[in-house]
Chains A and B, each alone.
Chain A
Amino acid sequence: MDYGAMDVDEVGPRVVIRESFPDRADFVLENVDLAFANSLRRTMLAEVPTMAIDLVEVDENTSVLADEFIAHRLGLIPLNSKQIEDVLYTRDCDCDQYCENCSVTLTMHAKCTGDEIMRVYARDLVVAEPRPNEWVGNPVITDEAGLGAVICKLRKGQQVRMKCIAKKGIAKEHAKWAPTSAIGFEYDPNNKLRHLDYWYEINPIAEWPVDEKNASWESEGGIQQNGEPFDYNAVPSRFFFDLESIGNLEPDAVVQQGIKVMQQKLAAVLQELAGDENRNGDAGGDGFGGQEPDGMQGGEYGVDQGYTTPYVNPGATSQWGGGATPYGATPYGQSGWNQ
């Protein structure tokens, strides 16, 4: 169990944030391997929980658009998902269908009375008040006029009246829950590792422009054909991320949540492996001898220096909490980042 010490990971991952905007983060991840960086990318793309409208009750719709058409558009409207930990997954909640602990209700009621054609915008969604926290469920509005996305247009006399239930979910289930519109990902921009074999007419360097920003960041600089011998043992260790948020979560929150989701995945595996051991121990016949030789592993949990990740079950599953767990009480946010 000592091999960790000789690892390059001794120092652990390093991050340099190059640019930060309200909706974008450009950072460089160093001292990790390709699999790690890619897992982080995949997790942020598909498994970070957000809020989105998932259920629409149509009371009245005399617009030219079909009910399901509007329902689909409503689903795609980004909703603020700040501190989504306060929201339960509907499937894990005690309630029958949905409640204020696991959903946010938005109502849309618009009628065109003038002669002009009227537009219904995301800002016209009214958020009902008992909700998990003060941000969750607010439609994301970033345009200067403060309107948000257009939902539909109404002619004189037409109206829409709908009740929308927003729930927590992940983009693996439906893309409307995606927290990012795109994540740029690149390593080895100068192709020193020769993972790429460029097709070219005359000169690959002229015909395949590099991303200058990333290429010049690599301190070794040089382009591959500068005479130095090829290091066939080299592996990529520096990764350029350019994360663009949709607005429901701030870019740093997307990263932090992505990290947390990965930790929860690993924790679920550890949990399961540990659970199996106990069972085997019992089967071994020494009754409540309980802590088997592997008990030491239990020890190691605690020994970890100041390490506080909650080994919670990933919200998705219910192997040991079951639906009834009021795990809003889980000390989730203890990793120290406040968003």
Chain B
Amino acid sequence: MNAPDRFDTFLLADGEKKVTEEADTRIPSASTFTFNKEDHTLGNLLRSHLLKSPHVRYSGYRIPHPLTSTFELRIQTDGTLTPRAALQQTCRELVNDLSILSREFTKEWELRKMVGDGARGDEKDGKSKGPGR
């Protein structure tokens, strides 16, 4: 009856923005970014990768309510770069990592194909003769 539409979890509504930034008024170099139509998949990914930056002092995310498909990502930096810049940097690095992963996977898969499906396992296989299921 009043169930939200299925596509509400991934389709932006008219005029809705993917990300909005709200700067913290009391702490310098701190912002809360609100992401719409995203969930833990992106939230946790960004959070954990942001923490790897030496300029990021704090990053955490929360989903304010489980029935709304939105999350808030809070970032505080040491001031050498803005939270927004840190976020952009992180996104770019992740996209880059994913391209590397894509290439690696293609390479490995092609290799595997050449070896032929008959020969399973590889260099470590001697060690792990587990049941193939």
Contacts and interface: CB of A to CB of B under 8 A. Distances in A.
Interface of A: 1, 3-4, 6-7, 9, 12-21, 27, 29, 32-36, 38-40, 42-43, 46-47, 91, 170, 172-174, 211-213, 216-217, 252, 255-256, 259-260, 262-263, 265-274, 276-277, 294, 297, 300-301, 304, 307-309, 316-319, 335-337
B42 A21 contact: no
14 contacts: A6-B54, A20-B117, A27-B105, A33-B49, A35-B48, A39-B41, A47-B41, A216-B128, A252-B105, A256-B102, A260-B102, A262-B45, A297-B88, A316-B12
Interface SS of A by simple majority: helix
A321 to B, nearest CB: 12
B48 A34 contact: yes
Interface in B29-70: 35, 37-38, 40-42, 44-45, 47-49, 52-55
B131 to A, nearest CB: 8
A14 B100 CA distance: 8
A314 B93 CA distance: 19
Contacts of A9: 52, 93, 97
B48 A300 contact: no
Given A38-B44, A319-B18, 8 more contacts: A19-B121, A21-B117, A42-B40, A47-B10, A268-B18, A271-B18, A316-B12, A337-B102
Contacts of B38: 265
A303 B73 CA distance: 28
Interface residues of B, number: 63
B19 A269 contact: yes
Contacts of B130: 211-213, 216
Contacts of B99: 263, 307-309, 335
A267 B95 contact: yes
Given A1-B89, A265-B38, A173 B104 contact: no
B42 A13 contact: no
Contacts of B24: none
A256 B32 CA distance: 32
A273 B20 CA distance: 8
A108 B62 CA distance: 47
A17 B112 contact: yes
Contacts of B89: 1, 4
A273 B95 contact: no
B106 A13 contact: no
B94 A266 contact: yes
B129 to A, nearest CB: 9
A212 B128 contact: yes
> Most chain-A CB neighbours within 10 Å: which of B40, B99, B122?
B99
B5 to A, nearest CB: 9
Contacts of A172: 6, 9-10
Contacts of B48: 33-36
A272 to B, nearest CB: 4
B93 A35 contact: no
A265 B124 CA distance: 35
Contacts of B92: 270, 300-301, 304
Nearest to B104: A15
Contacts of B96: 12, 304, 307
Given A20-B112, A252-B109, A272-B19, A266 B91 contact: yes
Contacts of B81: 1
Given A34-B48, A39-B44, A316-B10, A19 B132 contact: yes
B6 A273 contact: no
B87 to A, nearest CB: 7
A173 B113 CA distance: 34
Given A3-B52, A268-B18, A15 B6 contact: no
